Chain A
Amino acid sequence: MSQPPGRFAQHLAGLPAPAFDGHDDDVTAALARPGLDVLPALLSPAALPRLEELAQRAREVTLQRFGRTVRLFAPLYVSNACLSSCTYCGFSKNLDVARKTLTVEQVVVEAQTLVGRGFKHLLLVAGEHRVEVSADYLVACVEELRSFVPSISVETQTWSDDTYARLVAAGLEGAVHYQETYDRGRYAETHLAGWKRDYDRRLSSTERAAESGVRRLGIGALLGLSADWRADVLAVAEHAVWLQRAYWRTEVTVSLPRIKPSASGFQPLVPVSDAEYVQAMCALRLAAPEAGLVLSTREPAALRDGLARIAVTSMSAGSSTEPGGYLTPGEAQEQFAVSDERSPAEVAAMLEAAGYEPVWKDAFPLVPG
C-alpha cells in the first residue's frame, strides 16, 4: 500500500510552477540578493553566461559559512542485493549481475581498511533488500563500527520510525535518501518496482529519520533523470531549506549526482553539461547557504577540484562502489563507474595545495564505546 504525501510533499505541491525564462536583468537582481525566491533566475539559461559571477558569489558564501575546509568521507558498500527495479541503477533487481552482501565481520574489515586510509566518516551503502540488508543487520553494523568510526551514516532503503530510532541508539549520525527526481511522472517511469517505487514513502523518509533523532540528513537529485534538471535542483533546494526550518537540530547536506555509465545501460534524457552542472551547484549554494554540498567520485578530478574551491563542503575519495571493493575488488557488480580514481591522500594533497584543510575527523562517538 502506498504512503500518503508527507509534510514536505504537501509543501512542494503548494508551490507555483517554476519558470526558468528569466532575462539578464533578473539574473543581475538575483545576484544582488540571492535566495530561494530568486533561484529560478540563477538556474535559468540567462544565468549561464554569468557563470563566473555566480561562482564568485557562491565562493564568498561558502567561505563565510564553512571556512577553508572540506570534510572527507568514504562510501562503504555493504550489499548490492536489491528488490527494487530502477531503470538507471547498476543494482536494479532485473539485472543479471554478480551480487554480494558482506557479513557484519566483512563490513568491519572493510571499515578498518578505510580507517587505515585516514577516513573517520563512513557512509554505509546498500541496495534495497530487506532480507539481506535488514534492520537488524544494519543495527549490528553500526554497533560494531562505532568504537572506531566516529561518524556513521547510511544510504539504504527507507525505514520505519522505529528502525531509525534503533539505528540512532546504536550510534548512527546520518541518513541519506536521494529522491532522484521530484517529478512524480518521471519518478514513476524510472522506478518500476519494489519499495522505492512509492514516491511518497521515499520523499517522507527524511522527515521520519529526523523525527527519530537522525541529526545529519542527506538529500539529492540525480541530474539527467528527468528532462528538466532545473526543476529538480529547485525542488531539492526547497527541500533542504524546508528541512532546516522543520528540524532545527539537524544538519542538511545536498548532493547532485549526474547519471553515470552503469550496468543498466541507462542514458540521461537530457545531458547536463559541465557548465550547467557548475551553475546548478553555485545556484544551490546561494539559495541554501547553510546546506552542506557533497560531491562524489562520480565526477572527474578536474571538475571536483574546481568545485571544491567554489561550493563543495564534503567529498568522497578513493571510492569503490562494489560491496567488498576495498579489500577484494572485482568480485561483485559496482553501482556505477567512478571518474576520479585518485587515492584519498592525493585528494587531500590537492585540497591542501588549493589552500583548504582536508577534514578527516569532525565528529565524536554519539554513544559510548
Chain B
Amino acid sequence: MQDQWSVADLALTSRLLVGTGKFRSHALMRDALVASGAEVVTVALRRVDLDRAGEGDVLDFVPPGMHLLPNTSGAVDADEAVRLARLGRAGTGTSLVKLEVTPDPRTLAPDPIETLRAAERLVAEGFTVLPYCSADPVLCRHLEEAGCATVMPLGAWIGSNRGLRTRDAIEVIVAQAHVPVVVDAGLGVPSDAAEAMEVGADAVLVNTAIAVAGDPVRMAEAFALATRAGRLGHLAGRGAVLETAEASSPLTGFLS
C-alpha cells in the first residue's frame, strides 16, 4: 500500500523520523538509523563540526540517501535560532530546519513565544521550518499561519521516555491541522509511537528511546514497525468506544 506524505515538496514514505543524539558511538548510531527505515534524520548543529568532516564527525555516519534535518538545539531565543539555522544552511546546503528554542536547560521545554518569532523570520528567509513546540492547539495554529511546513508538538518532555502524555491536546491539534503533525519528544517505547499514529499524527520523531535502549538497532526496528502498525490502525478506523458491553449475539435476536 502506498501511503506517502510530504513535508513541503519532500515526498516521504516512512513516518518515523529519527535523531542522532545520545548514542554510545557513531557506528552504532548509523546501524540504528539504517534499521529504523527512516528517511529523515535530525542532527544538532551544535554537535556538527565541519572542521572534522570526513574525520569522524557525526555527519560522516549518516547513511547516504537520508534527508538531513538540521536542528537548532541549544538556541535560547529567536535570534540564536535564526543564526544557527543560517549556519546550518550554509554548512549543509539544505533549507530544511527543525526549529528548537529551549531557554530552560532542565526541562528543555520549547519557548512558544520565541519559537513563533523565529519561525516567522525563517519562513521569510526561505527556510522550510519544522518547529518543535508545546502541545498547544492555538500555538500550532499560529505556527501554521506563519508558514511552517509542519507542527511538531511534544508527547512528553524531551528525552523523558514518558510516552504520549499530551494525548488530549494532540487529538485537537491533529483534527484542526492543515500541515502534517509530527509528534516529537517523549515517546519512550514502540507502543507510544503506535498510540500517536492511531490518534492521527502524520509521523513521529524518536531519538532518545532508540539511542539509550539496551539494543538501539533492534529498538529502531521496533519503532519502525510500531509506527507502521499505528498508521494502519488509524487508516482502518477503530470501532466505537462504548460505555457498556454490547453482546455480539444479542439476547433479543429471536424477535426478528
* Chain A residues packing against B (C-beta within 8 Å): 63-65, 67-69, 115, 118, 120, 150, 215, 244, 248-251, 290, 352, 355-357, 359-364, 366, 368
Residues of B within 8 A of A120 (CB): 49
What's the A-B contact tally at a CB cutoff of 8 Å? 61
Q: Which of A69, A215, A359, A368 contacts B76 (CB 8 A)?
A: A215
Do B22 and A68 touch across chains, with their CB atoms under 8 A apart? yes
In the complex, what's the smallest C-beta–C-beta distance from B118 to chain A, in angstroms?
Answer: 15
Name the B residues within 8 Å of A250 (CB-CB). Answer: 105
Given A63-B212, A69-B22, also A360-B106 (CB < 8 A): no
A108 vs B211: C-alpha distance in the bound complex, in angstroms? 37
Taking A68-B23, A290-B106 as contacts, is the C-beta distance between A364 and B46 under 8 angstroms?
Answer: yes
> Can you list, as one digit per residue, whether each of B1-28 has a CB less than 8 Å from chain A (1) or not (0)?
0000000000000000000011111100
B74 contacts partner chain A, Cβ-Cβ < 8 Å: yes
Asked if residues A364 and B25 are in contact (CB atoms below 8 Å), the reply is no
Asked if B47 is at the interface (CB within 8 A of a chain A CB), the reply is yes
B87 at the interface (CB under 8 A from A): yes
B83 located at the interface, meaning its Cβ lies under 8 Å from any Cβ of chain A in the complex: yes
- Contact between A355 and B24, CB atoms less than 8 A apart: yes
Assembly CA distance A347 to B76 (angstroms): 31
A interface SS class = loop
Mask for B67-89, Cβ within 8 A of A = 1, else 0?
00000001010001001100100
| CB-defined contacts of B48 to chain A, threshold 8 Å | 361
Partner of B47 from the list A244, A361, A368 (CB cut-off 8 Å) is: A361
Chain A residue nearest in CB terms to B86: A368
**CB of A199 to closest CB in B, whole Å:** 29
Q: Give bound CA distance, A95 to B52, whole Å.
A: 43
Question: Do B26 and A357 have beta carbons less than 8 Å apart?
Answer: yes
Q: Evaluate contact between B26 and A364: CB separation under 8 angstroms.
A: no
Contact residues of B: prevailing secondary structure: loop
Contact A364 B106 (CB under 8 A): no
- A362 and B47 in contact, given A63-B212, A67-B211, A368-B83 (Cβ under 8 angstroms): yes
CB distance from B226 to the nearest CB of A (A): 22
CB neighbours (8 Å) of A363 from chain B are: 46, 74
Leading 10 A-B pairs by shortest Cβ distance: A67-B22, A68-B24, A361-B49, A355-B24, A251-B105, A364-B46, A249-B103, A290-B106, A248-B104, A363-B46
Q: For residue B105, which residue of chain A has the nearest CB?
A: A251
Interface size on B, residues (CB 8 A): 27
The digit string for B39-52, where 1 denotes a CB below 8 A from any CB of A, is 00000011111011
Min distance, Cβ A287 to any Cβ of chain B, angstroms: 15
Which residues of chain B come closer than 8 Å to A362, judged between CB atoms? 46-47, 74
- Give every chain B residue within 8 A of A65 (Cβ-Cβ): 159
CA distance A356 to B26 in the complex (A): 10
Cβ of B208 under 8 Å from chain A:
yes
Among B74, B84, B105, chain A packs the most CB atoms within 10 A around the CB of B105
On chain B, the residues within 8 Å of A366 by CB distance are 80
What mask results when residues 46 to 60 of chain B are scored 1 for a CB within 8 Å of chain A, else 0?
Answer: 111101100000000
* Known pairs A250-B105, A368-B83; A360 contacts B23 (CB<8 A): no
- Known A-B contacts A68-B22, A364-B45; the reply to A248 vs B52 at CB < 8 A is no
20 CB < 8 A contacts A-B: A67-B21, A67-B22, A67-B23, A67-B159, A67-B211, A150-B46, A244-B106, A249-B103, A249-B104, A290-B106, A357-B25, A361-B47, A361-B48, A361-B52, A362-B47, A362-B74, A363-B74, A364-B74, A364-B80, A366-B80
B212 proximity list for chain A (CB < 8 A): 63-64, 67-68
> Looking across the interface, which residue of chain B has its beta carbon closest to that of A148?
B51
B46: chain A residues within 8 A (beta carbon): 150, 361-364
Q: Is the CB of A248 within 8 A of B211?
A: no
Which residues from chain A contact B106 at a C-beta distance below 8 Å?
A: 244, 248, 290
- Give 16 new A-B contacts, CB below 8 A, not counting A68-B23, A249-B103, A361-B48: A65-B159, A68-B212, A118-B52, A150-B46, A248-B104, A250-B105, A290-B106, A357-B23, A357-B25, A357-B26, A360-B49, A361-B47, A361-B49, A361-B52, A362-B47, A363-B46
